[in-house]
Amino acid sequence: MDPLIAEAEDARPTPPGKLYAISDIHLSFQGNREALAQLEPRPNDGLILCGDIGESAEHCRLAFTTVTTCFRTVFWAPGNHELYTLPSQKETGLRGEAKYMECVEVAREFGVLTPEDDFAIWDGEGGPCLIAPIFTLYDYSFRPHDVKFEDALQWAKDEGMEPTDEYLLHPDPYSSRPEWCEALVARTEAKLEAAVAAHPGVQLIIVNHWPLREDLVNLWQIPRFSLWCGTKKTEDWHKRFRAKVVVSGHLHIRRTDWRDDTRFEEVSLGYPRQWKECKDKGMDINDFLREILPGPEQPPPGKRDTIWRRWG
């Protein structure tokens, strides 16, 4: 072969490889920061960070510095922890939408794609698919039918449930988190509709920190935490918007489910105490990267039981 031709072929970009995901890496914990430092390079692959990196811009920078060094393309959707205004920032810290946009700007410093960017086509293994990071928050609608909206918070408090969100996640400039959620859902719905119309025949990978469906929220020890886990307004989005896979976190209960012909992946790492047993068995953060694309083969109808992923 002509040396010039061989050199040109060597210079051609390698097609993207696989697409992985992880969420809830909670870098405020030293054990999780140490775990992130063990991330192995996968320079031909992509990574989804599905929220709850940490509570500060510094946590985001640490995460994005590491993952963009290891992966070819990185996508991010925010979790509730990125939106927190810590007590030390009570007087001067950013709140609500401004805090979210600060995270978006940090992501853009590293070329990380966010819900504020155009959805990107993934042409790697399992593609082409449109990668759609979104941000919807929650509206307290994941509750029993006999519990009224105005009674929902007291219903949770009756079992000692009052998460940190109620004190640190501010909805500014909206009057409440449900109002912010309503605006986010309307905006996201329009963006997804436009994406589906613009890419006929291309399936989506929807990435949201909060589960899209209430029936995927199984919290046996703290069932009333469901209030802070999503909104019923997204229940059918996997069908409406041709989702091949829906990726979420938040629950710290790793699992794979199928609804209709869509695969749902909960990809949390969690707090150090929650994956200590795995660490004691010699596992590290690389063992918790969930393969989204190409992913496992879809089981036939009748055999699509939940896969509980205790070990990653």
pLDDT (mean) for 192-200: 97
Q: What is the pLDDT of residues 197-226, one digit of tens each?
A: 999 999 999 999 999 999 999 999 999 999
At residue 8 the predicted structure's pLDDT band, cuts being 50, 70 and 90, is very low
Q: What is the mean pLDDT of the chain?
A: 95
pLDDT band at 52 (very low <50, low <70, confident <90, very high): very high
Has residue 284 been placed in a domain? yes
**pLDDT at position 11:** 54
Residue 2 belongs to some domain of the structure:
no
Flag whether 241 is in a domain: yes
Secondary structure of 115-140 in the HEC alphabet?
A: CCCCCEEECCCCCCEEEEECCCCCCC
Q: Is position 7 within any domain?
A: no
Strand 307-308 and strand 255-259: pairing? antiparallel
* Region 167-173 average pLDDT: 97
Residue 6 inside a domain? The answer is: no
**pLDDT one-digit tens code per residue, 228-279:** 999 999 999 999 999 999 999 999 999 999 999 999 999 999 999 999 999 9
User: Hey, which residues does 49 pair with through a beta bridge?
Assistant: 22, 76
For residue 90, give Cα distances in angstroms to 4, 82, 151, 167, 175: 62, 15, 28, 11, 18
Q: Which domain holds residue 247?
A: 13-308
CATH number (domain holding residue 283) = 3.60.21.10
Q: Mind listing the pLDDT tens digit for each residue in 15-40?
A: 779 999 999 999 999 999 999 999 99
Confidence of residue 305 (pLDDT cuts 50, 70, 90): very high
Measured CA to CA in angstroms, residue 139 lies from 101, 181, 230 at distances of 21, 6, 7
- Global confidence as pTM: 0.94
Residue 246 has a pLDDT of 98
pLDDT, mean of residues 172-190:
98
* pLDDT interval class at 301 (50, 70, 90): confident
